[in-house]
């Protein structure tokens, strides 16, 4: 099985999370969204070989339409160091505002930084707010 079916095999409940984002952001601005996934680091999961191992984590982050993952050449070096080797994916090719990461080792990535580029109305005229 794939997708939600696989996740439902182990994770039948929502887990608490902490997300840190700006309260307001200007158009065409780069900002960071930080997701913290607090859990008991002693928890184990069953690995493919049948043994118990460290827990993996994943995140699905949904932003307003028009927001998307920042391009690598726009991201500050400090942020690049935080996100090196993270497998960022769009949820769907037409849904750039829905980002997926995971599964990644929970001990290393209990805090995940998303570099986000806010909506640029000059290049994205089909998105309308307050209408």
Domain boundaries, the chain: 4-117
CATH class of 4-117: mainly beta
Query: Residue 1: which residues within 8 A CB-CB, separation 6 or more?
Result: 9
Mean pLDDT (whole number) for 93-113: 91
**Of the candidates 55, 58, 64, 46, which has an alpha carbon nearest to the alpha carbon of residue 118?**
64
Examine the pLDDT at 122 and tell me if it is beyond 80: no
Mean pLDDT (whole number) for 34-39: 89
Q: State the chain's mean pLDDT as an integer.
A: 84
- Per the CB < 8 A criterion, the answer to whether 126 and 47 are in contact is no
- Per the CB < 8 A criterion, the answer to whether 67 and 118 are in contact is yes
Examine the pLDDT at 83 and tell me if it is beyond 60: yes
Return the half-sphere exposure (C-beta side, CA atoms, 13 A cut-off) of residue 105.
Answer: 5
- Give the pLDDT of residue 57: 86
pTM exceeds 0.75 for this model: yes
C-alpha distances (whole Å) from 75 to each of 27, 48, 64, 81 are 17, 35, 20, 10
- The residue among 21 and 128 whose pLDDT is bigger is 21
Examine the pLDDT at 114 and tell me if it is beyond 90: yes
């Amino acid at each position: 099985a794939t997708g939600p079916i696989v996740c439902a095999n182990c994770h039948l409940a929502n887990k608490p999370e902490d997300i840190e984002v700006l309260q307001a952001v200007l158009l065409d601005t780069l900002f960071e969204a930080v997701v913290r996934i607090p859990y008991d680091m002693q928890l184990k999961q069953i690995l493919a070989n049948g043994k118990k191992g460290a827990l993996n984590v994943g995140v699905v982050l949904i932003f307003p339409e028009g927001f998307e993952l920042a391009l690598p050449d726009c991201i500050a070096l400090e942020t690049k160091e935080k996100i090196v080797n993270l497998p960022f994916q769009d949820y769907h090719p037409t849904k750039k505002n829905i980002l997926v990461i995971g599964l990644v080792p929970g001990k290393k990535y209990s805090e995940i930084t998303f570099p986000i580029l806010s909506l640029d109305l000059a290049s994205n005229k089909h998105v309308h707010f307050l209408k």
